Structure 1
């Protein structure tokens, strides 16, 4: 944080998992019959999401992704999303403060310790991921 006090570079890597995580957190607060996800649990789920995109786009090792996904689900749980919630989830992602205009920004990893904070994803990519996620 001291090296990048205005969050213009390296510090942005600390947002890893947060774009999806904030959408999970906000969606959980909209559910009448469920306890809202904590910020930490939501970001952990967001890490799974952003790692999946990392596998697809930056060739992050799929085996490492699977290990991390299982660790997160075992320790933080899985939060179910229904097909009817997908549009709402995407709208929540569009409202994230880290976005650039109408571009949805996430942090992706090329490898452990090698983050790329200048990645943008499309609604189609989000839908593809959410279809995968809902199948788990």
Structure 2
């Protein structure tokens, strides 16, 4: 029977530990973000707590070739930490699946999903501010 330390080394657990720590550390660069501000939802004193106060207006379709859209997206991606940018571009831009991204990044699918959700929220917020303005974001 091999000692526990050898088993951990063969599983790759220790090899991933610094990368996982780095992912958690970079996540702290941004405070907790939600895709939609909580002020958009009813609170406990209202008839339907947690439901929309008013449904958001639909966004008009954005043409990817429009320079304004392209510039806003580039600026949004530039403000992300490198790990976040890599994950969102690999998943949403290149269409890679979680397994392929795991091999390249050393992150588990669960970590990728968390990073992807946070990155999408930041990008969505940036695009809303750049393309819609202060109205219905």
Whether TM-score is above 0.5 comes out as no
TM-score of the two chains, using structure 2 as the length reference: 0.26
- TM superposition score normalised by structure 1: 0.27
The structure with the largest alpha-carbon Rg is: 2
